[in-house]
Amino acid sequence: MFVVVTIRCSMDIQFPEFEIFAPKIEVAWTALQDRYASRLSGAEVDYLFACLVFGLTSPAYGEGEPLFHFDVCRALVTMKLPPDRADAALYSVPVSTQPWVDTVREQLESQAAKMGHALQQAHNFNDDAAADAGSSALSRPVDNQEKAA
């Protein structure tokens, strides 16, 4: 059973697996900050975080509608980053200050995808359900009364 949670950011969206991904996002952000904040630019850490979120959510949403998957990633990234930084992390690749950044990105995204696959199996949501859900699983409040709720 899933509880629909609204993520408050610059765009209000809802999706049932939020409560499954949210704890992983919190841990990932803390680990990235601890490990890389003193060695990389803020934009690079933000980008690594966005790539990790993309990897984590790809098993559930990667085969579905790309815009839906992107909205899920943005909602999760904005848990830790303000909207302008989230957009920068999702829309652009910063100049690397270290030669190993791309390797770390690949490893993070791969490990996160494995974790996402394990979450998908453990919580009984699958690619077909996520792909079929489309915009019905991702909803935006229609009027101000719903936004206030």
Q: Where are the domains of the chain?
A: 7-148
Diameter of the chain by CA atoms? 50
In whole angstroms, what separates CA 8 from the centre of its chain?
14
**pLDDT tens digit sequence for 37-61:** 999 999 999 999 999 999 999 998 8
pLDDT tier for residue 139 given thresholds of 50, 70 and 90: very low
Contact 64, 133 (CB under 8 A): yes
Please report the pLDDT score of residue 122 as a whole number. Answer: 85
- For residue 142, pLDDT beyond 50: no
Please report the pLDDT score of residue 19 as a whole number. Answer: 81
The whole-angstrom separation of Cα 5 and Cα 33 is: 26
Q: Mind giving me the DSSP string for 4-58?
A: -EEE-SSS-EEETTHHHHHHHHHHHHHHHHHHHTTTS-HHHHHHHHHHHHHHHHH
